[in-house]
């Protein structure tokens, strides 16, 4: 039986007596507080869903339905179809591959990709959970974002599980974003955007603050998740194509399915804010943001691929970044930042969707519950 007081300790060890002794006092205090704060019945008006807004709304945020944004609820339901934990996936062959089958260059690539991604997912969690969610004024949006916060934490666990099972030096791996300038550049760009919207005194009825918030959310959904994460997994999928680090790649397949939803949801919310609040963004500021993101990605690609590896070129990594960037920009209703960029990794979507053949008796079956291939658009 679960011990509610201390869930990690078996129930028989719990000090139930002390809990019972404390309960009546706490309950009565809470009840009195509720009565004291409750509005008089005459003040309570039903919520009209048409009055809900993404931000700056004045309706009661505790009322979920009727929905004004039914698509947000659909995102939540879809997100719940992708269930896994990193423990479901065997990493045994990856340990072997890392020790004996990867070249030095491939090990450099693998470790730095993990190092970048794990720091990034902490940032992603803090952005959505601390900076974005509190500004939403419709609960159906917050519900999906709450799920997203959990998923970012799950992703961090996944990277940690890979780092732990492979036996990498945690102090060293987790510090790379601070000491490797080519990783630090991307983290700095994200940190700057995050910190600009993580202040308690932001007033989104102020046009400058509003535009800055929309730019920051666009950055996280369209670039950070939509390009950097999306593109960030592909070096590992390239190893997977050659039969290497397949456990890690399978972990990333699950993460990528979440990230595709995160990017798509964020872009949809941004567009809704732009529509409702009549926001017009500065095209030059948008282009500058893309150019900075490209420069950061270029430094990163030059570092993780400083020596060539079989089956994955830094030129292709960058061309794919520009190709995906155009796609995200169009989704956001913006001009393509890199006209003419072409798909450089035509195998990527199929590889990312590939299901591992499972021996039922060997491992837990972790088939995706959604069925069918995911559309990355």
Residues that bind Fe ion (CB under 5 A): 121, 124, 152, 155, 225, 259, 262
Which CB, 69 or 265, lies closer to Fe ion? 265
Query: Terminal CA-to-CA distance of the chain, rounded, Å?
Result: 45
Which CB, 194 or 244, lies closer to Fe ion? 194
Tell me the closest approach of the beta carbon of residue 121 to Fe ion, in angstroms.
4
* Residue keyed to tokens 């017009």: 280
Listed residue (175, 156, 145) closest to 72, CA to CA: 145
Which CB, 109 or 124, lies closer to Fe ion? 124
Tell me the closest approach of the beta carbon of residue 262 to Fe ion, in angstroms.
4
Tell me the closest approach of the beta carbon of residue 307 to Fe ion, in angstroms.
28
Which CB, 210 or 249, lies closer to Fe ion? 249
Tell me the closest approach of the beta carbon of residue 225 to Fe ion, in angstroms.
5
Tell me the closest approach of the beta carbon of residue 255 to Fe ion, in angstroms.
6
The interaxial angle of helices 283-304 and 314-332, nearest 10 deg, is 160
The contacts of residue 273 (CB under 8 Å, 6+ apart) are: 54, 55, 214, 217, 279
Tell me the closest approach of the beta carbon of residue 150 to Fe ion, in angstroms.
10
Distances (CA, A) of 358 to 47, 89, 94, 315: 50, 11, 16, 35
Count, in order, helices (H) and strands (E) of the chain.
Answer: 15, 0
Which CB, 49 or 129, lies closer to Fe ion? 129
Tell me the closest approach of the beta carbon of residue 294 to Fe ion, in angstroms.
20
What is the C-alpha separation between 137 and 49, in angstroms, rounded? 12
Listed residue (78, 36, 27, 115) closest to 258, CA to CA: 78
DSSP 312: B
Tell me the closest approach of the beta carbon of residue 99 to Fe ion, in angstroms.
28
Listed residue (234, 231, 60) closest to 142, CA to CA: 60
Which CB, 152 or 297, lies closer to Fe ion? 152
Q: What backbone torsions phi and psi does residue 309 show, to the nearest 5 degrees? A: -125, 160
Which CB, 53 or 155, lies closer to Fe ion? 155
Please answer whether residues 174 and 115 qualify as being in contact, where contact means their C-beta atoms are separated by less than 8 angstroms: yes
Please answer whether residues 275 and 82 qualify as being in contact, where contact means their C-beta atoms are separated by less than 8 angstroms: no
Which CB, 185 or 232, lies closer to Fe ion? 232
Tell me the closest approach of the beta carbon of residue 118 to Fe ion, in angstroms.
10
What is the C-alpha separation between 134 and 321, in angstroms, rounded? 31
271: exposed, middle or buried (C-beta count within 10 Å: 0-12, 13-18, 19+)? middle
* Residue keyed to tokens 């072409």: 342
Which CB, 221 or 286, lies closer to Fe ion? 221
What is the C-alpha separation between 242 and 234, in angstroms, rounded? 13
What is the C-alpha separation between 300 and 294, in angstroms, rounded? 10
Which CB, 109 or 117, lies closer to Fe ion? 117
Tell me the closest approach of the beta carbon of residue 261 to Fe ion, in angstroms.
8
């Amino acid at each position: 039986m679960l011990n509610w007081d201390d869930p990690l300790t078996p129930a028989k060890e719990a000090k139930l007596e002390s809990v019972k002794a404390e309960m009546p006092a706490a309950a009565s205090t809470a009840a009195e507080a509720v009565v004291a704060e409750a509005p008089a019945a005459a003040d309570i008006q039903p919520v009209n869903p048409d009055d809900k807004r993404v931000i700056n709304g004045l309706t009661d945020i505790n009322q979920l339905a009727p929905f004004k944004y039914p698509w947000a609820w659909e995102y939540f339901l879809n997100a719940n179809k992708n269930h896994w934990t990193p423990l479901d996936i065997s990493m045994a062959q990856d340990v072997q591959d890392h020790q004996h089958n990867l070249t030095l260059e491939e090990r450099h690539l693998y470790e730095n990709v993990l190092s970048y991604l794990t720091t990034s997912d902490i940032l992603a969690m803090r952005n959505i959970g601390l900076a974005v969610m509190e500004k939403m004024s419709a609960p159906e949006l917050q519900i999906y974002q709450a799920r997203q916060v959990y998923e970012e934490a799950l992703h961090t666990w996944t990277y940690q599980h890979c780092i732990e099972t492979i036996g990498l030096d945690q102090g060293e791996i987790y510090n790379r974003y601070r000491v490797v300038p080519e990783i630090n550049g991307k983290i700095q760009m994200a940190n700057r955007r995050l910190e600009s919207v993580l202040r308690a005194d932001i007033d989104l009825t102020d046009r400058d603050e509003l535009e800055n918030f929309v730019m920051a959310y666009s950055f996280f959904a369209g670039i950070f998740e939509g390009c950097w994460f999306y593109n960030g997994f592909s070096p590992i999928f390239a190893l997977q194509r050659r039969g290497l680090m397949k456990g890690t790649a399978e972990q990333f397949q699950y993460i990528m399915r979440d990230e595709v939803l995160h990017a798509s949801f964020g872009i949809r919310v941004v567009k809704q804010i732009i529509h409702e609040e009549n926001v017009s963004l500065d095209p030059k500021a948008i282009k500058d943001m893309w150019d900075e993101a490209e420069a950061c990605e270029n430094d990163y690609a030059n570092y993780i691929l400083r020596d060539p590896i079989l089956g994955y070129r830094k030129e292709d990594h960058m061309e794919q970044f520009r190709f995906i960037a155009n796609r995200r920009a169009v989704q956001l209703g913006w001009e393509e930042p890199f006209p003419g960029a072409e798909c450089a990794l035509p195998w990527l979507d199929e590889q990312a969707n590939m299901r591992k053949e499972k021996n039922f008796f060997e491992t837990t079956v972790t088939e995706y519950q959604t069925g069918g291939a995911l559309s990355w658009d």
